[in-house]
Chain A
Amino acid sequence: DQQVKQNSPSLSVQEGRISILNCDYTNSMFDYFLWYKKYPAEGPTFLISISSIKDKNEDGRFTVFLNKSAKHLSLHIVPSQPGDSAVYFCAASPENQGGKLIFGQGTELSVKP
């Protein structure tokens, strides 16, 4: 029962262009969503988050959009840089269970110079 899904295992983008990573969820009790970046054999690094009461949150080159009716969120990276190449995980937190994150399977982003 995969409650958080990232259907694209990989994504390749040219440097300077926009990267769009997508995530779908099934549990309507999720009220907080986060994106993490991860390198092999390292811990995930927090990028950006969004509460279910918002539909957009922006931090520098990173913007997260939330569409609650479609149970869909996306991470936009503009402009993409080679240093952005990593695996990106979408995670969701159930209401009143902030210490529990449900992760998607990850999308490997490759930004080519």
Chain B
Amino acid sequence: KAGVTQTPRYLIKTRGQQVTLSCSPISGHRSVSWYQQTPGQGLQFLFEYFSETQRNKGNFPGRFSGRQFSNSRSEMNVSTLELGDSALYLCASRLTGRETQYFGPGTRLLVL
């Protein structure tokens, strides 16, 4: 089976812009979670989607949002980008009822 894929792999934006990142889960996985990794805060949970519904949300401002489509693919959006949003954004998928999450390679976002 193919693993979790994320696009794009690298992205450069400027402050104030918005960005959309995409994630395709492992085939058959219906739960998708998003994480942010920064040197200062480490790996932090953003939100989880299941069956097109947000099921859980981390402690991030409303500028961070997401959605999930009927084929389980997910997107996350960050509006009004700030310098501090520069990070590695990771997507993970899992089978419903199983706790093990499998991660994609991540999208490296640089905000200038």
> A98–B32 Cα gap in the complex (Å)?
11
Residue of B nearest to A49 (CB): B100
Q: A100-B48, A103-B43 are in contact. Are A43 and B103 (CB under 8 A)?
A: yes
> A83–B68 Cα gap in the complex (Å)?
36
Q: B50 → chain A, closest Cβ, in Å? A: 7
Q: A98-B94, A99-B55, A99-B56 are in contact. Are A45 and B31 (CB under 8 A)?
A: no
Instruction: Describe B's contact surface by its main secondary structure.
Output: strand
**Contacting residue for B48 out of A41, A44, A49, A99, CB 8 A:** A99
Q: How large is the interface on B (under 10, 10 to 19, 20 to 34, 35 or more residues)?
A: 20 to 34
Q: A30 → chain B, closest Cβ, in Å? A: 11
Interface residues of A (CB under 8 A from B): 32, 34, 36, 41-46, 49, 89, 91, 93, 97-106
19 A-B interface contacts by CB (under 8 A):
A32-B99, A34-B100, A36-B103, A41-B88, A43-B103, A44-B90, A44-B103, A46-B101, A93-B99, A97-B56, A98-B97, A98-B98, A99-B31, A99-B50, A100-B48, A101-B35, A103-B42, A103-B44, A104-B42
